[in-house]
């Protein structure tokens, strides 16, 4: 290997299918990070999602310009809405003001799907990023859009952050009830819009969500720290930390989802009641992240294992240490290591300790349904990111979109600064796709290496982790100097600073693709035919005559051998 050197998601008629348990988000406040940044993360887990870097330049639009919206999961045109006069630059799911948004789908109640709406969750994210300068404004934009045009996705949890705050917004559409509007002379949906709650994560705390609604009870409006949507004028008061739809409780009562006192209302219990699969497939991933940084998580183990659904994990916790982006990289790679559910240790891991299971997630044997664990790291991730947002730097430098494609376990998170003026070519949208192989596209290069990892995990992953760490650690080491230089340039010439950051981000991103492609070639040679070639410092060992040294034959684990003998008896006994 060469040395490192600086050089539109789910269908409208969504169900509780196990295959839809996708995506994992983390939220980190300023007081919970090492450097005082805020962070949110997102893993786009989908069997048809292609990993590519979205990039939308800022734009000015004529009055009356229309925007066509497309379903994030199918690309089906949904309808058109009016464009605003100016839109902001967006890199991935983060904009030029360091506003970032992620999501996970929890589905909720199927009867609440709105078949007349034209704004889906993906459109909400992109439109909010193009129209918002801070997290609160993003929330307002999203709610205004679904109020006007309806919400055609199922239940969603959104992570929304800016350099000062991080919020979780949970939203469910209200179903379809058509009534005839005499003035418009057509049938309209009486229940257009959504019910929702948004909560600011307190400073010094962290949160997470993973396809299960996590907002339970919340403080009702006091006009100061908690407000309803009737009090939008107070949204930008800094002390406001909760805002909710004014009909979020009354609508639940009208549908029979809740019948108690308003103060006892739980959003999750009403709109996404906890089930075994909600705990085991979803809350378990939240627990895995919380358990990395909190010493009091054992008491929730029975809950996340699906044994006791009455236990409730908190929406947010205080970590036992300050976090870095690199910590979140690591959390994205969790497969329940160190627990009794470690996926590299059970029967399904095979002889090579593979912590992945191919879909479907559940299977049937003798009329009974069984399941594989659904952990954070998964083979079907299209892309993932950690958005790092810093209030003390100009937005162009302060916002970093740490971006990786394919399986987070073997990706490399590359820094893209918000000041870039173009995406890296090999990572760019449209450079290959999920049905079109392109041998130097970032997604396909990382996918090739990942598939080799799936073949001989506990052998190959050692090499992958070594190079993954080398690259990501170098980026962390370079970061202070790159930003120091960028800030000096920015203070004299912001446009030149943008050019500098573009060169750095794009050169490093494309370099990583070339590096990883070469790593793939190296792994193929080293582990050819199930053997392991001798190597020293990346060079394969030859004998004194220049002929390859005979490889090692590691074979299978003791556990695998014993299982074979136990199941076959004397069938393979040497005689």
Q: Mind listing the pLDDT tens digit for each residue in 363-375? A: 999 999 999 999 9
pLDDT band at 559 (very low <50, low <70, confident <90, very high): confident
Cα–Cα distance, 67 to 124 (Å, whole number): 12
Domain-embedded: residue 117: yes
Cα–Cα distance, 322 to 463 (Å, whole number): 29
**What is the reported pLDDT for 13?**
33
The percent helix, strand, coil of the chain (3-state, each to 5) is 35, 20, 45
> Average pLDDT in the 417-437 region?
97
- 306 and 421 belong to one structural domain: no
Query: Residue 391: how many CB atoms within 10 A of its CB?
Result: 14
Domain final residue, candidates 334, 361, 378: 334
Q: What are the φ/ψ torsions at residue 22 (nearest 5 degrees)?
A: -130, 155
Residue-range definition of the domain harbouring residue 544:
535-568
Is 70 exceeded by the pLDDT of residue 59?
A: yes
Domain-embedded: residue 372: no
- 503 and 545 belong to one structural domain: no
Cα–Cα distance, 252 to 273 (Å, whole number): 12
**What is the reported pLDDT for 12?**
30
- 165 and 245 belong to one structural domain: yes
Checking DSSP bridges between strand 66-70 and strand 77-82, what pairing results, if any? Answer: antiparallel
Per residue in 78-119, pLDDT (tens digit) is 999 999 999 999 999 999 999 999 999 999 999 999 999 999
Per residue in 315-334, pLDDT (tens digit) is 999 999 999 999 999 999 99
Per residue in 531-558, pLDDT (tens digit) is 999 999 889 999 999 999 999 999 998 8
- 540 and 398 belong to one structural domain: no
Diameter over CA atoms, the chain: 93
- 460 and 553 belong to one structural domain: no
Is 80 exceeded by the pLDDT of residue 135?
A: yes
Chain mean position to CA 283: 15
Domain final residue, candidates 316, 334, 352: 334
Q: How many CA atoms lie within 13 A of 43 on its CB side?
A: 32
- 195 and 89 belong to one structural domain: yes
Nearest CA among 178, 313, 171 for reference residue 243: 171
More confident residue, 6 or 483: 483
- 493 and 552 belong to one structural domain: no
- 549 and 503 belong to one structural domain: no
- 280 and 399 belong to one structural domain: no
Q: Where are the alpha helices (DSSP H) in 257-398?
A: 267-271, 276-277, 284-293, 301-304, 325-331, 395-398
| CB contact at 8 A, 233 and 250 | no
Query: Residue 543: how many CB atoms within 10 A of its CB?
Result: 9
Cα–Cα distance, 407 to 45 (Å, whole number): 9
**What is the reported pLDDT for 21?**
56
Average pLDDT of the chain to the nearest whole number:
94
More confident residue, 21 or 74: 74
**What is the reported pLDDT for 450?**
97
Nearest CA among 95, 43, 336, 88 for reference residue 209: 43
Domain-embedded: residue 39: yes
pLDDT band at 428 (very low <50, low <70, confident <90, very high): very high
- 185 and 329 belong to one structural domain: yes
- 551 and 522 belong to one structural domain: no
Is 50 exceeded by the pLDDT of residue 276?
A: yes
**What is the reported pLDDT for 560?**
87
**Cα distance from N-terminal residue to C-terminal residue, the chain:** 46
Domain-embedded: residue 378: no
Is 90 exceeded by the pLDDT of residue 299?
A: yes
Per residue in 222-261, pLDDT (tens digit) is 999 999 999 999 999 999 999 999 999 999 999 999 999 9
pLDDT band at 15 (very low <50, low <70, confident <90, very high): very low
pLDDT band at 6 (very low <50, low <70, confident <90, very high): very low
Domain-embedded: residue 142: yes
| CB contact at 8 A, 506 and 425 | yes
> Average pLDDT in the 386-394 region?
98
Domain final residue, candidates 334, 350, 367: 334
Per residue in 167-212, pLDDT (tens digit) is 999 999 999 999 998 888 889 999 999 999 999 999 999 999 999 9
Residue showing tokens 């996590």: 214
Percent of the chain with pLDDT over 70: 96
Domain-embedded: residue 501: yes
Per residue in 497-542, pLDDT (tens digit) is 999 999 999 999 999 999 999 999 999 999 999 999 999 988 999 9
Cα 170 to Cα 8, 39, 112, 210, 293: the distances in Å are 20, 18, 14, 12, 25
Q: How many CA atoms lie within 13 A of 179 on its CB side?
A: 9
Query: Residue 546: how many CB atoms within 10 A of its CB?
Result: 6
Domain-embedded: residue 350: no
- 330 and 415 belong to one structural domain: no
Domains: count for the chain: 3
Q: What contacts 544, CB < 8 A, 6 or more positions away?
A: none
Checking DSSP bridges between strand 178-181 and strand 206-209, what pairing results, if any? Answer: unpaired
> Average pLDDT in the 434-456 region?
97
Domain-embedded: residue 556: yes
Chain mean position to CA 8: 15
């Amino acid at each position: 290997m060469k040395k490192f050197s600086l050089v539109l998601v789910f269908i409208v008629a969504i169900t509780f299918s196990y295959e839809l348990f996708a995506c994992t988000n983390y939220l980190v406040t300023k007081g919970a990070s090492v450097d005082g940044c805020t962070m949110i993360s997102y893993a786009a887990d989908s069997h048809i999602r292609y990993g590519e870097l979205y990039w939308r330049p800022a734009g000015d639009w004529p009055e009356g310009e229309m925007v066509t919206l497309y379903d994030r999961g199918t690309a089906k045109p949904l309808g058109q809405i009016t464009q605003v006069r100016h839109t902001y630059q967006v890199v991935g799911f983060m904009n030029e003001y360091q506003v970032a948004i992620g999501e996970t789908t929890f589905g909720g109640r199927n009867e609440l799907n709105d078949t007349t709406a034209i704004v889906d969750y993906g459109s909400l994210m992109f439109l909010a990023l193009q129209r918002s300068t801070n997290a609160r404004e993003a929330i307002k934009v999203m709610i205004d859009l679904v109020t006007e045009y309806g919400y055609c996705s199922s239940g969603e949890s959104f992570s929304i952050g800016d350099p000062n705050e991080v919020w979780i917004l949970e939203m469910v559409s209200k179903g379809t009830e058509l009534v005839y509007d005499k003035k418009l002379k057509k049938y309209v949906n009486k229940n257009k819009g959504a019910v929702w709650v948004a909560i600011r994560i307190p400073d010094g705390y962290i949160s997470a969500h993973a396809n299960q609604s996590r907002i339970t009870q919340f403080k009702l409006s006091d006009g100061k720290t908690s407000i309803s949507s009737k009090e939008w004028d107070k949204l930008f008061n800094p002390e406001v930390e909760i805002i909710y739809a004014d009909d979020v409780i009354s609508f639940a009562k009208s549908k029979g989802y809740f019948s108690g006192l308003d103060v006892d209302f739980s959003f999750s219990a009403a709109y996404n009641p906890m089930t075994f699969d909600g705990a085991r497939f979803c809350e378990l991933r939240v627990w895995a992240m919380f358990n990395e940084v909190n010493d009091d998580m054992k008491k929730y183990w029975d809950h996340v294992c699906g044994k006791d659904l009455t236990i409730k994990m908190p929406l947010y916790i205080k970590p036992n240490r300050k976090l870095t982006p690199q910590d979140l990289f690591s959390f994205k790679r969790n497969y329940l290591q160190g627990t009794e559910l470690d996926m590299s240790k059970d029967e399904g891991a095979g002889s090579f300790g593979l912590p992945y299971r191919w879909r479907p997630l559940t299977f049937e044997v003798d009329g009974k349904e069984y399941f594989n664990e659904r952990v954070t790291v998964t083979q079907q991730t299209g892309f993932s990111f950690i958005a790092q947002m810093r209030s003390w730097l100009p937005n162009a430098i302060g916002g970093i979109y740490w971006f990786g494609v394919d399986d987070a376990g073997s990706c490399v998170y590359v820094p893209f600064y918000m000041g870039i003026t173009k995406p890296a070519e090999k990572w760019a949208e449209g450079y290959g796709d999920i049905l079109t192989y392109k041998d130097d596209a970032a997604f396909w290069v990382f996918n090739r290496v990942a598939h080799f990892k799936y073949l001989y995990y506990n052998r190959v992953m050692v090499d992958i982790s070594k190079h993954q760490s080398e690259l990501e650690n170098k980026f962390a080491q370079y970061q202070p100097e790159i930003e120091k230089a960028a800030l000096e340039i920015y203070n004299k010439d912001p446009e030149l600073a943008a050019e500098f950051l573009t060169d750095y981000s794009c050169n490093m991103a494309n370099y990583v693709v070339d590096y990883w492609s070469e790593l793939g070639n190296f792994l193929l040679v080293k582990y050819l035919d199930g053997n392991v070639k001798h190597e020293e410092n990346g060079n394969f060992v030859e004998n004194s005559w220049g002929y390859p040294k005979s490889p090692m034959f590691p074979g299978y684990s003791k556990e695998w051998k014993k299982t074979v003998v136990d199941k076959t008896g004397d069938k393979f006994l040497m005689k």
